[in-house]
Amino acid sequence: MSVMSLSRWILPFLSVLLLAGPAAAAEVNLYSARQENLIKPLLDRFTEQTGIEVNLVTGKADALLQRLRSEGRNSPADLLLTTDAGRLHRAREAGVLAPVESGTLSERIPARYRDPEGYWFGLSVRARPIVYVTDRVKPAELSTYEALADPKWKGRVCIRSSSNIYNQSLVASMIAHHGVEATEAWARDFVANFARPPIGGDRDQVLAAAAGQCDIAVVNTYYLGVMLNEDDPEQREAAGRVAVFWPNQEGSGDGRGTHVNVSGIGLTAAAGNRDNAVRLMEFLTSDESQAWYAQVNHEYPVRDSVPVSDTLAAWGEFKADDLDLHLLGKYNAEAVRLMDRAGWK
Amino acid sequence: MNSTTTQTVPATSSRQHWLSSGWRAGVLLVALIVALPVLTVFSFVFEPAGEVWRHLAATVLQDYVVNSLLLMLGVGAGTLLLGVSTAWVTTTCEFPGRRVFEWALLLPMAIPAYIIAYTYTGLLDFAGPVQTGLRELTGWGYGDYWFPQIRSLGGAVVMLSLVLYPYVYLLTRAAFLEQSVCVLEVSRTLGASPWRTFSRVALPLARPAVITGLSLALMETLADYGTVQYFGVDTFTTGIFRTWFGLGDPGAAAQLSALLMSFVFVLILLERWSRRQARYHHTTSRYRSLPRHRLRGWQLPVGVLVCLVPLLFGFLVPAGQLLAWALRTAPEMLGVEFLQLTWHSLILAGSAALIALLLGLFMAYGKRLHGNWLVQGAVRIAGMGYAVPGTVIAVGVMIPFAAFDNTLDGWMRAQFGVSTGLLLSGTLAALLFAYTVRFLAVSLQTVEAGLGKIRLSMDDAARSMGYRPGEVLRRVHMPIMRGSLLTAVLLVFVDVLKELPATLILRPFNFNTLAVRAYELASDERLADAASASLAIVLAGIIPVILLSRSIAHSRPGHA
Amino acid sequence: MPELLEVENCVLAYDDIPVVKQVSFALETGSIGCLLGPSGCGKTTLLRAIAGFELLRSGEIRLRGQVVSHSGWALPPEQRRVGMVFQDFALFPHLTVAGNIAFGLRHLSERERRTRVRELLELVGMPGYASVYPHQLSGGQQQRIAVARAIAPRPELLLLDEPFSSMDAELREQLAREVRAILKQEAITAILVTHDQYEAFAMADEIGVINQGRLMQWDSGYNLYHRPANRFVADFIGQGAIITGEVLNDQHVNSELGIIPGRIPEGCVPGCKVDLLVRPDDIQHDDESELQARVVEKAFRGAEFLYTLELHSGTRVLCFAPSHHDHAIGESIGIRMEIDHLVMFRQERQTAS
């Protein structure tokens, strides 16, 4: 095929591709680190109510952030949704977010779950407590994250890799509370207690614990919640063999509360559909949406007024760590390095 | 006069020079564009990252190097063992089921490495049905028995070997089929046993093909992220991600990438070196179809087993598990949307395969016309993307594309007050470009191999009959090597079908593929729900794989 | 007759290593030329330069008076109307015989093309083979199709690159004569490259002997044999032995084989040393002769024996003898000179006496 006929063939083809893309009039464009099946139903509901089309790209938060940064002021994205506050903080620092002043949002969302200047807003709270196998561990043996470094847990702890953002945030929170040195010392002892090299995700830690590979695990609650409501009997059974323990409550350690993170959303600096974007943000904090998180994915609503699922209710109330969430972003790289040094794979 | 006397005659073969400007410039331009993403990432190399680098060196770097090397060694040995043995048995032996094995042995190619990884994890992990069954049967508990940990370096070696050996099988088998039966018979008449004939004659003759297949498999291994990440094996690829995103240091990540590329460079040298040894091809022009050695007695089960084991563990078991999961979850997963995902996957894979074929053809032929070091180097560089992890390429595509868009937009605003916005970023064009960068090597190598089998006198003959180089390509080379062209298209098609990281990062709004869907569900540890999409990838990949096998079986000497 | 092809002072090189040095010759329309020389002498490179595949370092090539190559520039081969037959024939495996022959005929209408293909198949004596594929043909048949394909577009000049080298030795001369007949019938001007002098004699009107990139002599076969211009040509063409002699007067040379008449090289005075070229047919077997030589080797050629004989001094010469003169190796036989015109060269290394 000669160059001529090649270009004759390719060019029209490419031009068709270039034209593909969002074109509806009333629309809002969302980059979401929350995967499609955990956000799409809400977005469809929003479109139904408002007539505003939502265009969606899902992906890993870091990649989406990189995409926002490269695209700069011409980015088509109006909103960035992530599943942790650290990345939202990083996005703000990268200058790709714009502040939003919305009475509705600041009224609905407690101040500690949003950026003080309105660069991002939490949508759901994700707690990372300890779970234990009920027939091998008594809750009285447990107290704080710090206490997990105790040699009595040697070979009994399951936790996923340090590459995971939830562990990075957890360690970042400890750096914020105790400083690098103390946290590193803790991490070394904690790693020494691992039952196996970190593999798999949070569900996997629960499965391993239920199967007897370890006695305690540190996982996000919603994984356990989903497992308990799973069709697959094996998963349900495994989840049923463990119980949630809320660490660092009043009376144990400094009583600062269990580590939490939020999934949240921020308006991009390049947003071309600002009004629609703010409407979507407000919609995601409505009673209806908040209840949906709680019911479908067993996350805690950011709004106290919204009822939680039966599964969550059964685990009882807990005090959440009220650490400034942007510190999780600030100490993230330090946390990764610390875990590298501590040998946390 | 001065300008004419400075013109030099190329070293290797002095092909047509007057057209240099056109083809050569074209090849160099394409190579430059294709190399752009890798160069972009490399440009971060110059960002100071001393402190992070010291940290890496003190903590995890050794793991990255050792694990990557072990992974390459293991997968290299695994794919060689499986690929060469199956190729030899199916080419030279006759046994019941051989005809089925011939194409079925390619099937594992249709299964993405990350999917086979999570499938086996679901099956073999401590909490999976196999071990649970074992415990129920024996009453053992944790720690009472030893069971291989699937999520380990060894597990990753096995998984990658199972899905990558078809590259070696494919190319080695094609080479065995091309070997002149006379050469093999001469060996037998000289008193060599079949085994000796294999090890002393057939294998050395097929070595260039074996090495090419091996280098493809190893480049895939180096670029793999999904499997090693899922299995918790720290390699260069996972290290690059961790450094870039976790440590927030693109400079150090790029330096790690550069180190990774040095591995690739060694592979390329190895491959080239083996090609250079390949001059003894086709000493005779007399071919007959190989008489097959009928397996009897103990040979029969051994021969069948050699073929059955890779097929069973590389395809039947994982596909069966996927099917079992899919049957359970399909009602929720299938629907109009699923059809759309499938359509997206097919159209992307098809377009990317055609683009890669055309560019591969253009570059390989350009190299044939002007084989000087500059063009050869450009062609090599254009093929480097194959060993670069998809995410790195995606970021490398994203940055220059957006920079181009924004520069153009800024200029248009300043000049005409019109905003052009993002022309390329976030379009399928960007995605297809990333696929091209990633998989051009596959089509390039296949096309080059095909072209290499066509004697240069064919070009000259056609030229002397009044055809321009482009016409010669179309009228002579393309028809002669249509088997190779088909192979190139199908290989890229299957690769793109399986591709995940670049798709995930670069795809436009509201555009999902089967791989994206399978990944999202699997990464949420919903393996059963991910099964329908995974199975669809496998099914969509099977058809080209079977076509591929047929095209090889029908390849006959004289046709490349 | 106008010169169809003119090659003037052509220099070709690979990587600054010259392979063709200052070669000049010309070829008339309708005649068949041959570049003859040992392998690696540069003859194929020169042929490829004429076809347009190689660039000249310096010099010029003209076709019908029009410059087609000069230093650093070459008219592309597809624009030269020069046909070429390749050593490996280069038949396209994906096309039938008819498809191959018609390949260069795209400027013709479908009907004209069919007619021309039929004509050529008849010309090469293979009328029934139109729809056969190349790999189904024998070597000789492939060769004829390759020629048919090359001459189908009626090129101004046909180039043949060692076209018979893959043939059996017995076939070569026969094929060469056949191809010559075809070319003459079609009045095609051609150049053949070969290392086989018998092929050259069978086919060419004019032959250029090339050695190490230099054209040694451009002449008819007869003259190359009987009037070689230098020692290389004398050595290369035909069989023979070189013996030394000393000039007696302006017509005779004294040698081991006696006093022999011949043309004394220029500048030789009596007493000067010369090399004499003795062909096998210059020496007759004569049992009566006093001149004796010992048989050291013999080769049976059917009608005759080719004897390698050793003279007293140890010098070896060749001799044809009718095959009924069967002598054993080691036997001494009588020989007699039968020369009317001897080729001799002044010795290259005249001792500084």
The rounded Cα C148 to chain-centroid distance in angstroms is 22
Q: Note the pLDDT of residue C130.
A: 93
pLDDT > 90? residue B242:
no
Which residues of chain B are within 8 Å of residue C51 when distances are taken between CB atoms? 460, 464
Beta carbons of A284 and A52 less than 8 angstroms apart:
no
pLDDT of residue B15: 42
Q: Which residue from C15, C51, C93 is facing B464, i.e. has the nearest CB?
A: C51
- Cβ neighbors of A200 (< 8 A, separation 6 or more) are A160, A208, B121, B125, B151, B230, B232, B525
What chain A holds in terms of domains, given with CATH numbers, is 25-126+262-309 (3.40.190.10), 127-258+325-342 (3.40.190.10)
The two structure tokens encoding residue A185: 């010392």
Instruction: Say which of B56, B247, B528 has its CB closest to residue A333.
Output: B247
- Tokens coding A55: 């265009």
Residue A257: pLDDT over 90: yes
> Max CA-CA distance within chain B?
92
Q: Cα separation of A172 and C113, whole Å? A: 82
Is B18 in contact with C54 (Cβ distance < 8 A)?
no
Q: Which residue of B has its CA nearest to C158?
A: B464
Closest to C140 measured CA to CA, from C124, C157, C119: C124
Residue C32 has a pLDDT of 95
**Cα–Cα distance for residue pair C235/C36, rounded to 1 Å:** 13
| Cα within 13 Å of Cα(B480), Cβ side | 26
pLDDT per position as a tens digit, A336-345 = 999 999 999 8
Each residue's pLDDT tens digit, B364-414: 998 888 777 888 888 888 888 887 888 888 888 988 898 899 899 889 888
Q: Sign of the CA dihedral B231, B233, B239, B245?
A: positive
Q: What is the pLDDT of residues A259-277, one digit of tens each?
A: 999 999 999 999 999 999 9
Strand partners, C5: C27, C63
Q: Is the confidence at residue B277, as pLDDT, over 70? A: no
User: What one-character DSSP code corresponds to residue B295?
Assistant: P
Dihedral over Cα of B186, B188, B190, B196: its sign:
positive
Which residue reads 């660092």 in tokens?
A248
Distance CA B15, CA A114 (A): 68
In percent, how much of chain B has pLDDT > 70? 88
Contacts of B14 in chain C (CB under 8 A): 14, 53-55
Surface-to-core class of residue B542, CB atoms within 10 Å of its CB (0-12 exposed, 13-18 middle, 19+ buried): buried
pLDDT for residue B283: 39
Which range in B89-93, B106-110, B280-284 is most confidently predicted, on average pLDDT?
Answer: B106-110
Angle at B266 between CA B264 and CA B268, to 5 degrees: 70
Q: How close A118 gets to chain B, by Cα (Å)? A: 24
Q: DSSP assignment of C167-200, as one string?
A: S-HHHHHHHHHHHHHHHHHTT-EEEEEES-HHHH
β-sheet bridge partners, residue C83: C158
Task: Report chain B residues whose CB lies below 8 A from the CB of A204.
Answer: 125, 127, 525
- Chain C touching partners, 3 or more CB pairs below 8 A: B
In 3D, which of B28, B49, B47, B43 has the Cα closest to residue B396?
B43
Residue A47's pLDDT is 95
N residues, chain A: 345
Per-residue pLDDT, averaged over B181-190, amounts to 63
In b/e form, how buried is each residue of A26-38, taking b as 16+ CB within 10 angstroms? ebbbbbbbbbbbb
Q: What is the pLDDT of residue A24?
A: 47
C111 touches chain B (CB under 8 A): no
User: Who wins on pLDDT, B63 or B266?
Assistant: B63
Which chain C residue shows the shortest CA-CA distance from B479? C94
CB nearest to A55's CB, from B249, B394, B510: B510
Give the HSE-up count for residue B93: Cα atoms under 13 Å, Cβ half-sphere. 24
Q: What is the pLDDT of residue B124?
A: 86
Question: What's the DSSP call for residue B423?
Answer: S
CA B70 to chain centre: 20
Q: Which of C67, C57, C56 is nearest to C5 (CA)?
A: C67
The pLDDT assigned to B299 comes to 84
Residues 6-65 of C with CB under 8 A from B: 13-15, 48, 51-55, 57
**Cβ <8 Å between C14 and B9:** yes
CB burial of C8-33 (b: ≥16 within 10 Å; e: otherwise) equals bebbbbeeeeebbbebebebeeebbb
Using the 8-state DSSP alphabet, how is residue A37 labeled? Answer: G
Residue C56 has a pLDDT of: 92
Which 8-state DSSP code applies to residue B201? Answer: I
Q: Residues with Cβ < 8 Å from B509, sequence gap 6 or more?
A: A21, A22, A29, A55, A56, A57, A76, B426
- pLDDT at A245 exceeding the cut of 90: yes
Is C165 in the B-facing interface, judged by CB distances under 8 Å?
no
Spatial separation of the C-alpha atoms in residues B378 and B382, rounded to whole Å: 6
DSSP assignment of B86-98, as one string?
HHHHHHHEE-TTH
Which residues share a beta bridge with C319? C307
Over chain B, what is the mean pLDDT?
A: 82
Q: Environment class of residue B6 by beta-carbon count within 10 Å: exposed (0-12), middle (13-18) or buried (19+)? A: exposed
CA A231 from chain center: how many Å?
24
Higher pLDDT, A1 or A134: A134
The pTM (predicted TM-score) of the whole model is 0.83
DSSP states of A92-158: HHTT-EE----HHHHHHS-GGGB-TTSS-EEEEEEE--EEEETTT--GGG---SGGGGSGGGTT-EE
Supply the DSSP symbol for C116. Answer: H
CB contact under 8 A, C72 and B5: yes
Which residue of B402, B428, B470 is in closest CB contact with A71?
B402
Q: Is pLDDT at A12 greater than 50 in this prediction?
A: no
A66–chain B Cβ distance below 8 A for any pair:
yes
Q: Å from B343 to nearest chain C CA?
A: 36
- Chain C residues close to B455, C-beta within 8 Å: 88, 90
How far, in Å, CA of A90 to CA of A83, rounded?
Answer: 13
Report angle CA B210, B216, B221 to the nearest 5 degrees.
120
Task: State CA B190 to chain mean position distance.
Answer: 39
The confidence score (pLDDT) of residue A218 equals 96
Euclidean distance between CA atoms C297 and C313, whole angstroms: 17
**Do A and C have ≥3 inter-chain CB pairs under 8 A?**
no
Runs of H (alpha helix) within B383-481: 390-416, 428-452, 456-464, 469-472, 478-480
Which tokens hold the place of A126?
């994700």
Assess contact for B206 and B180: CB atoms under 8 A.
Answer: no
Contact (CB, 8 A) for B47 and B251: yes
Q: How far is B235 from chain A (nearest CA, A)?
A: 11
- Asked whether residue A212 carries a pLDDT value surpassing 70, the answer given is yes
pLDDT, averaged across chain A: 88
Q: What is the DSSP string of B43-65?
A: HGGGS--HHHHHHHHHTTHHHHH
pLDDT over 50 (residue B16): no
C123: nearest Cα among C156, C146, C148: C148
> What pLDDT is recorded for position A56?
94
Q: Tell me if chain C has a CB within 8 Å of the CB of B455.
A: yes
Give the total residue count for chain C. Answer: 353
Contact yes or no for B464 and C73 at CB 8 A:
no
**Token output for A305:** 């007024």
B10 — pLDDT class (breaks 50, 70, 90) = very low
Amino acid at A101: E
- Among B142, B246, B511, beta carbon nearest to A213: B142
Q: Which of A111-120, A189-198, B259-268, B439-448 has the lowest mean pLDDT?
A: B259-268
Rg of chain B (C-alpha set): 25
Query: Which residue has better confidence, B352 or B270?
Result: B352
Contact B226, B114 (CB under 8 A): yes
Which residues from C are below 8 Å from B458, CB to CB?
A: 90, 92
Question: Nearest to residue B457, comparing CAs of C102, C47, C88?
Answer: C88
> With pLDDT > 70 as the criterion, what percentage of chain A qualifies?
93
**B72, two tokens:** 């390459």
pLDDT band with cut points at 50, 70 and 90 for residue A5: very low
Residues of chain C with pLDDT under 70: 1-2, 348-353
B464 closest CB neighbour out of C15, C70, C83? C83
Interface touch B559/C93, C-beta < 8 Å:
yes
The SS3 assignment for B438 reads helix
Distance CA B167, CA B169 (A): 5
The pLDDT > 90 percentage for chain C reads 41
pLDDT at A4: 44
CB-closest option in A60, A70, A204 to B504? A60
* Chain B residue at shortest CA distance from C51: B464
pLDDT at residue A25, rounded to an integer: 67
